[in-house]
Every structure is written in structure tokens, then in C-alpha cells.
Structure 1
């Protein structure tokens, strides 16, 4: 069972039961201690409310089970501190501000948020929420550290599969390999210049005393940073596009770049702080607009490509390599990559619904009609898709399903390693359980019997 983090539960609780007031309030108290962390009886209540807000049926979930989950979280966080895992205040504050902004958007004012949590003022509420978010981030980073250190060999994968009883061998659903050719509308030079001029105007207004933070909130089209004033922290290994990194590391502290282009659009960057190999910056992204005429031209281009493939003049793979505007798939003949399994096959029941709807009626080798689609930033384009191969539902086969079996074997090894780690750390850590919960049948040996 997957439980929500406490910070997420707080948000779900807030947006789901904002105006629900219980008839009675029970006295809160400490029911558990793990190292430097305490667990309150109200923390268990909060976990229940968070699960209900997600639509999870809680009738078969006990307080003992949720209490055990909270004990695990605190053990991870406690050990993260011992292992010198660092979660910066800036990181916590950035996430907290995003969560609070969402809460305020739901009800209209920060005062209502503070009142709902029964805190005396905004500072009291932020201190309370800060501690919860920091604990959650320590927990997740400790879990990641345990798992990241685990690797698996081909021999271990083979032995894992051999040890599965015949009647328990997993069945994998029908799978397909999908390829696509993309044609993006061309942006006119006039529209590019209009975008550059807008960014130059914003830059000058900031140089004249305006707030870059405010300008980013108002004008930036980067969904990952606009609500936080365009803020990012990065080093040379941070996975940003090369053009962005080149500009960011060429600027001095306090300097604002001229507009520059990446695959996402046009940007300006302002450097807040330089700390050794890291820079803290703010940026504004504006993407040039696509005209209806340009979109129609893209459709006509994809129709011509489709006609050439249908007539046998060129293969789909060669057409993708020669004409597709999607660089991620172009050199692979248009074949889509499944980020979940790290291979080219997609299990039909686990595909993105939008992609599934585009290929569900296609036979192997058949071409779709031109499809109007858009990327995660809302940029529209036309494409055609085809199914290269289709594998029906089948029992796992070691040779053809090796990568999936490897994933299962690795997950099994990770679970065992986490169980061993937990057992060891419970033995090394101060843990106290309130007598009300000492009759619980925990998965882990929290009572150290």
C-alpha cells in the first residue's frame, strides 16, 4: 500500500475538509519517539484524513498500521541526520511556498490557512509546516540513498526467475512498439522578434528598479518556476539544456542576460547568488506564438510525408530520420522510448491514455491519420504514428522479457535490503512506544522484543 507523505496529507486535508469542524476534540499526546522525533496521536488522524482525501478506502486500515508507517518515516529521517544528508532551508522554503500558494488559491487568503491549522500567526504556521516538509525530504533522501547503492547482476536475475514457482510466473500484458513522425509549425521571424523585444523591455524595467520576481510571476511561461519568481539553483551537472547553462555560468552576480534562445523559447536570466560551483538564479521564459497558418502548413507537410510512406516511396523509419522535427526519436526511426521500463515496448494497459487512444485501432504497420497534439508546454504540432510490433499477453519469458524480470528482481533485492537496514537501525536507535500501541502487530520489531 502506498501512503501519501505528511506534507501532501496536510495539503489534501486542507483542501478537502477546510470547513468541516469536529464536534469533539480529543487531547493530543505523544504516542511514539524515534531518535529525536516524536509522533503525536493527531499525526495518525492526519494520515487517515489524507488517505480519505485521495479516495482510498480506509475501513481495513488500522491505526497500528498507520502508526507503523509513521515510525518508519521518522526512522529514515533520524538516520538521514546521522548520515549527514543535507536538506537546505532554501529547498524546504521553495516547496513550502508552492504548497501555501496552492492553499491560498483554494480559499482566498493566508489568514484562512493559518486559522484552519489553529496557529496563532503566519510565523507559527510556517515554522510548523517547515518542520514537516523537512522531515519528509530527509525521509525520501534516506530511502533513495539505500536503494541507489543496490545493484543486481545478470546471474542474480537468472536465479530470481528460476526460483519463481511455475504457477506464480508473472503474466505481462499485450505490448506494442510505437513510432511517430512529428512536424512542428515554423515560427515567423516577426514573432521571434516580438518575443525578443518583450524580454528586452522586461530586462530594462528591472534594470530601472523593477522586481524580477514579479516580472517572472506575471510573464514567465515556465510552469516549473514562474510561481516562485523564476527561481532555480543549479551547478554544471544539473540537467538543463546546454544553451541555458552556458549563459547562466557566464554571468556575474546581479547581472541580467540579454534574451537568448533554447528549444523551449526565449529567456533572460538574472543571477542572484554564486556559491562556489553553484548558482542561484531567476529566469523568464517566453515562447513565440504559433499562427494558425503555420499550424496548417505543418499539417500539410505531415500529410505529404504520410502519402510517400503509403505509396512505398520511403519507409516510415527513413522518413522519420529525414523529416521528423522530434530529435529525441528522429535518429531511432521515430521509435518512442518508454521511460518507465527503459525500453521501446509499451504495455497497453499501462500506456499514457492519450497515446493509447492514438494507436488502439491501428494494426501493425498501419499509419494513423495526421494527429494534432501538444507537448507538456502546450506547444501544438502534427504527427503520424504507427505500430512496428505487437506482442500479445503472455507468461514472462526470460529471454524476451529480461528487462522486466530484471526490474522485478531489483525491486525484490531492494525490498530485502531495506528490511535488513530497518532491522539494524531499529536496534541502534532509541525508540519508545506508548502503552496504548504496544499490543499492535507491527511488521517491524519496533518494540524490540
Structure 2
């Protein structure tokens, strides 16, 4: 499942930076136009707004020229324009879902609809949402086009080796001190009574919709425990490639349009799904999630179990790896002896200077063979559990070595190849796209050949 995990100031900053920059050529407003890329125009005020929002984000803009700022805006519009040419589809439903998510979050943070409208200096909510819609759609087209370019770039082991060989010895990257970490997770056992209570609640909600004409949207807003979709009435758009858990997808694709499923279980809890619309390979659906509640007694028992496992490891009755394989409730790490994967690099090493502070505070001072005390944590659905952790390996700061640091070097080599691919793509698309720069900016020195000299 997906959960909304954004900061209000970032949302507002992103949208404000785009305000005024989303107008298209066929709009009547032309005053202050300084550039045109395909069907998109750029206003002089867009540069001012970008400066303002970067400053609000704490970025030092003293050395960023207006020419450089215009160059970035031109790039963004080129991506969006080409996305349309390449028939990249961003549906109104998709945009509206994102709009409602962001709008609800901003209202929650700023306090009221009126304050949000005032913040964006709009006459009313309708005008604000209309412009937000265009901004979000343009941003989505831009990101989808960028993703398409990058996703087509792959790299072979031979290319990684060539990349490494071309780096002068005195310029080889230095990797900071790293460690490998393992954990054992003990989840509280939800009672059958708690599970049945969640199922019964969902059955009643389903009955109210089917038999009493209640609104599924309203029920989801009031009762769903999925923070990523609750504010939009449980809405998700998905197809068979969408990254949802298997059980959820299986039920969704088994429904007929207009049908509501019986309650079913996933790792997040119990759900019901209402299939609202079938659009070719895509489904518009709404769901309600109810997570069975865990009693204090059950939670206490989980902590005691985690503590018992820790004692057995410290007493040499079982290794940490063996305990993880046989007793951990975390299926993602269990088969690897509890070894964690770094989400940023997708390998097993965590660089100390880049480690999440909450994780660093737990493992930084653990000695060899030491196991942390049981600690409370929460999973993606907010369910509480206990975990114990250990450091399985440490790596001192060192200069890059091909055999030891292949994964890191592959990442660097791939990034370099992606940058080159984007540069080549940009050069080619500028040549075949209508681009106009007004006289006052024609003396600019751009990174890309926007002036087509």
C-alpha cells in the first residue's frame, strides 16, 4: 500500500514555484513572456517566484543568475512538451487524486481552506484548484518524461570496469566508514477476537453502502486507517504493474465494476475494496483499511519474547543469524539472517555519515557481538512491534576498490551514463522543438543550446 509522506512546506514551495509557469501558448496572457518551449511559455515573474521559493527552502541564491534560472525552467518545459509528443498519458483522475491529497494536507497544516487560498493569493478555492490542477499535471508530465529517459539506460559489468579504470588513482572516490546491520523483529500476536472485530466492522460498512445507500467515499474518510488514501475517500488508481501487495491486487482484479469485496487480509490489516471504474488496463477503486488492535498485554508479551531471544544469543545458545531465520517475524530480512538492505543504495552497507539518525543512535556504539535491548517500533501500517539489532560487519574509511566496492561503483557509473543520456536527449529535442528566447535574455550563456546558435 502507499501512504502519503510529504512535508507541507515542500508541497507549497513546489506549487508556488510553478504558479504562473503553467500557462500555455494559446492562453490570452502574454505580458512578461520571456521564453517559449513548444506549447509552454515562461514568464519573467516565474524566475522571481523561483528565487523566492528557493530562499524559503534555505537555498543560497546569491550565485544563481537569472540566466541559470531561466535555463532550468526551459528544461522543465521541454520535458513536459516532449511527454505530450511521446503520448505519455497523465489522466485527469490521476491528477485529481494528487491534487486532493496535497490540498487536504495543506488545509490541515495551514488551518483552513481560506488560509490556503489566501496563501496562494487567489480569489477563491475554485480558481486555486483550477491552477493547481494544471501545475500538477505539468509537473507529472515532466517527471514521467525524465523517468522514461533514465529507465532506458542500463549498464554492463564491462562498462563499470571501464568507468573504474578511467579514474586516475589520485581521484578515486573515498568511501566513508560503513557497517552491516541485522535485526530480529517480534510482532505481537493479534488475537482472533481483535481480527474478528475488524472483519465485523468492515462487513457493517459494506452493508451500509449496499443496503442503506451510504457513501463509500464518506465511510472511507471516517473509518479507513490508510493515511495515504483516507482524505480522498480511499481512492487509488492501479494496474497490474502497480506496486501493491499481491493479496490486494488479486482481490481488486477479481471484482466487477461497481462491486464491493468481502473483507480480506493483507500485511496491513483487513480491507474491503469498491471497484469504481474499469478504464482499459487501469482500475479506479476505493478501499477501507481496518487494522486489528493489539492489547497492552499482547504487546508486553512480544517485548518479553524479544528479550528472551536476546538472552539466548548472548548466552551462545544460538547465533543472531540462526535466531533471525527461525524466530524473526520480518519476512523481508529473515532468510538473510536479519541483514538489512540500505534503501538508498540497495546494498547491505550503511555509511555512518549518511545513516538515518534514528538508526545511527541505536547501532553506532554497539561493540562486536553486542545485541541491543528490545526497542519498540512501528511498521508501515502503524502496527507496533519490538526489535533487537546487532552490527555484523564494520568497514573503515577506504579508497574505492573494484572488487570490494563493485555495487557502489556500478551506481556511480550508471549515474554518469544517465547524465550523458539526458544531455544527448536534450540536445536532440531542442533542435526539433520550437524554442524562443526574448531579446533581454538572448545574451545569456546557457548550458544547453537554447538559442540554437
Aligned partner (choices 99, 102, 105) of residue 105 of structure 2: 102
Find the partner of 1:45 among 24, 45, 48.
48
1:43-442 residue pairs with structure 2 within 5 A?
43-207=46-210, 208-442=212-446
Counterpart of 1:23 in structure 2 is none
Residue matched to 2:447: 443
State the Cα deviation string for residues 236-264 of structure 1 (Å, max 9, x = none): 33222222122212222111122111110
Provide the rounded CA distance (Å) in 1 between the counterparts of 2:450 and 2:284. 42
Residues 176-209 of structure 1: CA distance to partner in whole angstroms, max 9, x if unpaired?
Answer: 1111111011111221122112112211222211
- Per-residue Cα deviation, 1:115-140 (whole angstroms, up to 9, x for no partner): 55444444333332222111111111
The root-mean-square deviation of aligned C-alpha atoms, in Å, is: 2.0
Distance (whole Å) between structure 1 residues aligned to residue 393 and residue 45 of structure 2: 53
Does the CA-based 8 Å contact 1:6-1:47 persist in structure 2? no
Change in 2 beyond 3 A, CA 1:199/1:6: closer
Shift of 1:85: 1.0
- Of 14, 32, 41, the match for 1:29: 32
In the superposition, relative to structure 1, how do residues 11 and 417 fare at CA in structure 2: closer, same or farther (>3 Å)?
Answer: closer
- In the superposition, relative to structure 1, how do residues 83 and 276 fare at CA in structure 2: closer, same or farther (>3 Å)? closer
| Matching residue of 2:6 | none
Matched residues, number = 433
For the 8 Å contact 1:317–1:333, the answer to whether it is kept is yes
Is 1:234–1:280's contact at 8 Å kept on the other side of the alignment? yes
Contact 1:183 1:299 in 2 (8 A): yes
Give the CA deviation at 1:42.
1.4
- CA positional deviation for 1:320: 0.7
1:82 is displaced (CA, Å) by 1.2
- Structure 2: state its 5+ residue gaps: 1-8, 19-29
Q: In the aligned structure 2, how far is the partner of 1:242 from the partner of 1:327?
A: 15
Cα offset, 1:388, TM superposition: 0.7
* TM-score relative to the length of structure 2: 0.91
Distance, in Å, in 1 between the alignment partners of 2:389 and 2:116 is: 48
Deviations 1:144-199 (A, max 9, x none): 11111111111211111111122221111111111111101111122112211211
The 3 A distance-change label for structure 1 pair 166 and 12 is same
**How far 1:12 sits from its partner (Å)?**
6.0
Shift of 1:8: 5.1
Q: Helix, strand or coil for the counterpart of 1:377?
A: coil
CA distance in 2, matches of 1:409, 1:250: 43
> SS of the counterpart of 1:273?
strand
TM score, norm. by length of structure 1: 0.92
**Distance change >3 Å, CA 250–CA 106, structure 1 → 2:** same
> Helix, strand or coil for the counterpart of 2:58?
coil
Q: Distance in 2 between matches of 1:305 and 1:7?
A: 44
Separation in 1, partners of 2:11, 2:338:
40
Decide which moves more: 194-203 or 102-111.
Answer: 102-111
2:16 and 2:120 in contact (8 A); partners too: no
Counterpart of 2:341 in 1: which secondary structure?
coil
Rounded to whole Å, the distance in 1 between the matches of 2:86 and 2:259 is 37
**Unaligned stretches of 5+ residues in structure 1:** 15-26
Alignment CA distance shift 1:439-1:136 (3 Å): same
Give, in whole Å, the separation in 2 of the partners of 1:194 and 1:296.
21
* C-alpha separation in 2, matches of 1:171 and 1:337: 21
**Secondary structure of the residue that 2:181 maps to in structure 1?**
strand
Q: What SS does structure 2 have at the residue aligned with 1:367?
A: coil
Over 3 Å counting, the alpha-carbon distance change for 1:222 and 1:6 in structure 2 is closer
The whole-number CA distance in structure 2 between the counterparts of 1:368 and 1:108 is 42
Deviation at 1:73, TM superposition (A): 0.4
Partners of 2:150 and 2:418 within 8 A in 1: yes
